[in-house]
Amino acid sequence: MSKVNVVLGGFYGDEGKGKIIDYLSGDADMSIRYSGGNNAGHTITVDGVKYAFHLIPSGILNKQTKAVIGNGVVIDPKVLLEEIDNLHAHGVSTDNLYISSKAHIILPYHVELDKMLEENRGENKIGTTARGIGPAYCDKYERSGIRVEDFIGPNFAKLAKTNIENKNVIFEAFGHSKLDAESIIEEYSAYAKRLEPYVTDTINLVHKALDTGEKIICEGAQATLLDIDFGTYPFVTSSSPTIGGVCTGSGIGPKDIGEVYGVIKAYSSRVGKGPYLTEEDNEVGDTIRELGHEYGTTTKRPRRCGWLDLVALKYAARLNSMTGIAINHVDTIGKLDKIKLCVGYNHKGNVSMDFSTNPDYIKDCTPVYEEFEGNFGDISNITNRDDLPEKAKKYLNRIEEVVGVPIKFIGTGAGRENMIIC
Ligand code: GDP
Ligand code: IMO
Ligand code: MG
């Protein structure tokens, strides 16, 4: 029986997960998004055309791959429809799209709450994407969320009205204008009609696919250090992008999981607030940002940039049982003269590989760096790892050596073809 392969973020997101998924879906029967919502932005460049996915698994670009939005995802129906329309405009069919009846819906009150609560955090802002993700997951766990099956069912108006009335009490208390239930219900009922044909019990669909030996891949959104449990709380997202989220967000059991590919960049980046030990908040970071075009796919915010942190990566590898690393933007880092790699944390004089998300611990750490030669030259057309320049090999070998996980994919450019398969 074939095993389910998982692609997930190794660091703070935007590592190029979409690109790896796109490659792996080439011969996959099913590609599943298991967590997060339209806070995600996965960019794929095919034949010079750039596609930005927020909710639909990138596997949709391959005709034979069923694209499943799993039960662990929170869905903004308006955004999903925009994404569907955009794919149609590019001639991409969505006949193979399946939306879980158990996924939860993001409604305008979630978005308004997200913005309002963030505003009220003052100095302590998280830097959310303001897409309503946190409030939607709150409602799910508080058990007042609206699932897709409720959304397309006869009780939607009643459920939405109750929720809007309750949220309006909060809005009023904060001096925020109240939301109009009738207009929201009317607008979103129309979206429900359009989405209904795509809705199914994806848990059954996935189980049947497993039973018949279909080739399945799971597309992580966000990343390990943004995980609600394992990330740098509270500067995290509200879901489980790590390996456990695959099981709870799709209905796949742990024994069905095969390869776990952790995607990283040859440097690092972070959007939003929170600790980031290897950040280069200076000219080096600015240079990396410009060379790597590090501006958010979803919010267009400039990404904070810095060096690759192997202490954090080792933690992510352990947490997710990573079997392979996919490292993107090796072309980008190779444009610098000198590259630094964090191979330890110095905590009050003690150097170790001990990672912790405790802000007080991180505050007292300084990164221990090794320096490598850059200037790799043009590597975009190299298809064999052995053909990489020695300087690039040395950098990649050291990453494998410290983390203890083999590199399986090397990104040498943004295009689908710019990749070395090891
Ligand atoms: P995701 O959220 O993890 O899917 O990543 P994003 O799409 O948000 O950000 C990754 C960016 O890097 C996108 O603009 C990709 O087109 C680009 N990209 C991915 N891999 C490579 C690579 O190996 N080299 C270069 N130069 N760009 C890459
Ligand atoms: P992909 O899938 C990078 C960050 C936000 C913020 C924090 C909480 O493209 O890698 P949220 O809106 O989720 O409540 O915001 O999480 N964040 C991401 N950063 N890539 C993402 O997704 C992200 N999704 C959320 O910037 O710091
Ligand atoms: Mg992204």
**Which residue is closest in CA terms to ligand 1's atom 27?**
414
Residues around ligand 3, an ion, CB closer than 5 A: 14, 41, 297
Over residues 137-155, the pLDDT tens digits come to: 999 999 999 999 999 999 9
How far does residue 226's CA lie from ligand 2's centre (Å)? 7
User: Which residues form the pocket of ligand 2, taking CB atoms under 6 Å from any ligand atom?
Assistant: 9, 13-14, 39-42, 126-129, 131, 133-134, 221-223, 226, 237-238, 271-272, 297
Whether 88 sits among the annotated catalytic residues: the reply is no
Take atom 6 of ligand 2 and give the residue whose Cα is closest.
128
Looking at the CA of 376, name the nearest ligand: 1
Cα–Cα–Cα angle for 96, 140, 155, rounded to 5 degrees: 75
Topology classification of domain 264-421: Adenylosuccinate Synthetase; Chain A, domain 3 (3.90.170)
42 catalytically annotated: yes
Q: Do domains 104-194 and 264-421 have the same CATH topology?
A: no
Ligand 1 atom at minimal distance to the Cα of residue 50: 16
Cis omega (within 30 of 0) on the bond before 154? no
Instruction: Give domain limits for the chain.
Output: 4-100+201-261, 104-194, 264-421
pLDDT at site 299: 83
Domain range 104-194, its CATH number among 3.30.200.20, 3.40.50.720, 1.10.300.10, 1.10.340.70: 1.10.300.10
CA max distance for the chain: 65
4-9/216-219 β-pairing: parallel
This prediction's pTM: 0.97
Q: Helix, strand, or coil here: 137?
A: helix
Q: What pLDDT score was predicted for residue 47?
A: 87
108 CB contacts (<8 Å, ≥6 apart)? 132, 179, 184
Question: Ligand 2 center to residue 227 CA distance, Å?
Answer: 10
Nearest alpha carbon, ligand 1 atom 16: 414
Those residues of the chain that have pLDDT short of 50 are none
* Ligand nearest to the Cα of 414, by number: 1
Residue owning the nearest CA to atom 3 of ligand 2:
13
Domain 4-100+201-261: assigned CATH number: 3.40.440.10
Q: What is the pLDDT of residues 1-47, one digit of tens each?
A: 679 999 999 999 999 999 999 999 999 999 999 999 999 999 998 88
Instruction: Give residue 1's pLDDT.
Output: 60
Ligand 2 pocket test target in 271, 294, 297, 304 with most atoms within 8 Å of CB: 271
Residue nearest to atom 9 of ligand 1 (CA): 14
Q: What's the token pair of residue 91?
A: 């001639």
CA dihedral 58, 61, 67, 69 (to 10 degrees): 40
CA–CA separation, 337 and 198 (whole Å): 50
Ligand closest to Cα of 13 equals 2
Q: What pLDDT score does 296 carry?
A: 87
What pLDDT shows up at residue 143? Answer: 98
Q: In Å, what is the CA distance from 164 to each residue of 80, 176, 179, 207?
A: 21, 13, 7, 36
The predicted structure's pLDDT at residue 2: 74
Catalytic entry in 22, 29, 42, 331: 42
The two three-digit tokens of residue 170, written as one number: 């909060």
What is the pairing mode between strands 49-53 and 42-46?
antiparallel
